[in-house]
A and B are shown apart, each in its own frame.
Chain A
């Protein structure tokens, strides 16, 4: 498992340079509530036909930041992005709310502030 730290602005460029759709398999987008009102966003990839080769790109952001979308590079990321928006209450370019949560349910359940 390899972890690479990137800044929020570079993420599309980094993934554009790294991602070869015949070699790497996009697993998911993951969020992790940190202390001091911060959030770690992880883009997790695994290699086809290799033994346990996982690469995680991660960025530390604040909740008010807008996360760049990677749908142009990886079309299937759209659903992970919508989930991230719902569960953490952050903004991702071009992803709307309401995949899981209704208006009267608990908003942003996994973000640190609501615990």
Chain B
């Protein structure tokens, strides 16, 4: 056997990629030895525009356009930071409605990731099934907010739309359906032989490496690392609505899928709890003043921890908005996992990370 290595590029345009990212794999026979990645294809310059172009009350809708999948977490984090600086208190009802949409977003994002993993493993039928069921969640998101992807639901001081009893009935009915389907997938992902060939034992990350490389989100939880920002913040009452940390020990693709499925089921429970005990009251309080001082806010996006650092100087223009996105801090861990795997598994491993490059590059 020769020791000669081959360079294989993946991207920037590829059928298995939704977004442009370029990986350059150096392979020895089938094994990947080194990985080089280029993630800057989607860099647009949002951080600078936030401090030069837009006033602080509009930025909540601008930062939602950092990423379409976790749009709600972006606008929520920014809004929470501004509310912290303005020093106002928002109503309990709007807090619960925010959690509701956050969890609905997580459900549809995880379902998209699961279906994408199946597609990249070559299981087209499963991809179609999950995508079809995902429309149940999209329907209720559209009912609740008026749009399917970019919601623009959260504004400084509360939320923009109230919920009616018909909508809440429809949400409960659809979520019941989604839960039945999710339990079905759980069976499929654990027991299907051909899926396990592509998933079990492949792309594993050990617990020690997860600590070392600061992995976050489902990637870290699949390795047994207890990191979930919903557990570490007191801004929104996640423990009241029944949040449970989901972890797994194996750290491979299958473990990540199972963590995501468990989170879907947990999120559905949380949504049901919220709708059962939703308090009465206003959905909006007017906050006055201009932001002054600095705030660090973290939230759990579907892909992991999202951090906003906001600094204001008492005028309508902010001094600095720093966005630290989940995929950005996971990239060292991604490169580490690829080393030593077969090249043929690379698309499936990549899909199981659920990378979000428009988050990464901003």
* B174, CB-defined interface residue at 8 Å: no
Contact indicator A115/B324 (Cβ below 8 Å): no
* A8, CB-defined interface residue at 8 Å: no
Residue in chain A with minimal CB distance to B207: A22
1/0 per residue, CB under 8 A from B, across A83-115: the answer is 100010000000000111100001001100001
A52-B234 contact in complex given A21-B212, A101-B43, C-beta closer than 8 Å:
yes
Contact indicator A27/B324 (Cβ below 8 Å): yes
In the complex, which residues of chain B have a beta carbon less than 8 angstroms from the beta carbon of A80? 328-329
Interface size (A, Cβ < 8 Å)? 36
Query: What is the count of residue pairs linking A and B with beta-carbon distances less than 8 angstroms?
Result: 80
In the complex, which residues of chain B have a beta carbon less than 8 angstroms from the beta carbon of A25? 214, 216, 227
* B17, CB-defined interface residue at 8 Å: no
A100-B361 contact in complex given A28-B324, A51-B234, C-beta closer than 8 Å:
yes
1/0 per residue, CB under 8 A from A, across B152-171: the answer is 00000000000000000000
Contact indicator B214/A30 (Cβ below 8 Å): no
B-side binding surface: helix, strand, loop or mixed?
mixed
1/0 per residue, CB under 8 A from B, across A42-56: the answer is 101010111110101
Q: How far is the CA of A87 from the CA of B322 in the complex (A)?
A: 11
A115 to B: closest C-beta gap in Å: 7
Contact indicator A76/B296 (Cβ below 8 Å): no
Contact indicator A52/B233 (Cβ below 8 Å): yes
Q: Looking at the complex, which one of B211, B307, B320 makes contact with A27 (CB distance below 8 Å)?
A: B307
Q: List 26 A-B contacts (CB under 8 A).
A: A1-B296, A21-B212, A25-B216, A25-B227, A28-B307, A32-B311, A32-B320, A51-B233, A52-B234, A54-B296, A56-B296, A74-B214, A75-B213, A75-B332, A76-B212, A76-B213, A76-B214, A76-B329, A79-B329, A80-B329, A83-B328, A98-B40, A100-B43, A106-B45, A110-B48, A110-B320
Q: Which residues of B contact A (CB under 8 A)?
A: 39-40, 43, 45, 47-48, 52, 211-214, 216, 226-227, 231-234, 296, 298, 305, 307, 309, 311, 319-320, 322, 324, 328-329, 331-333, 361
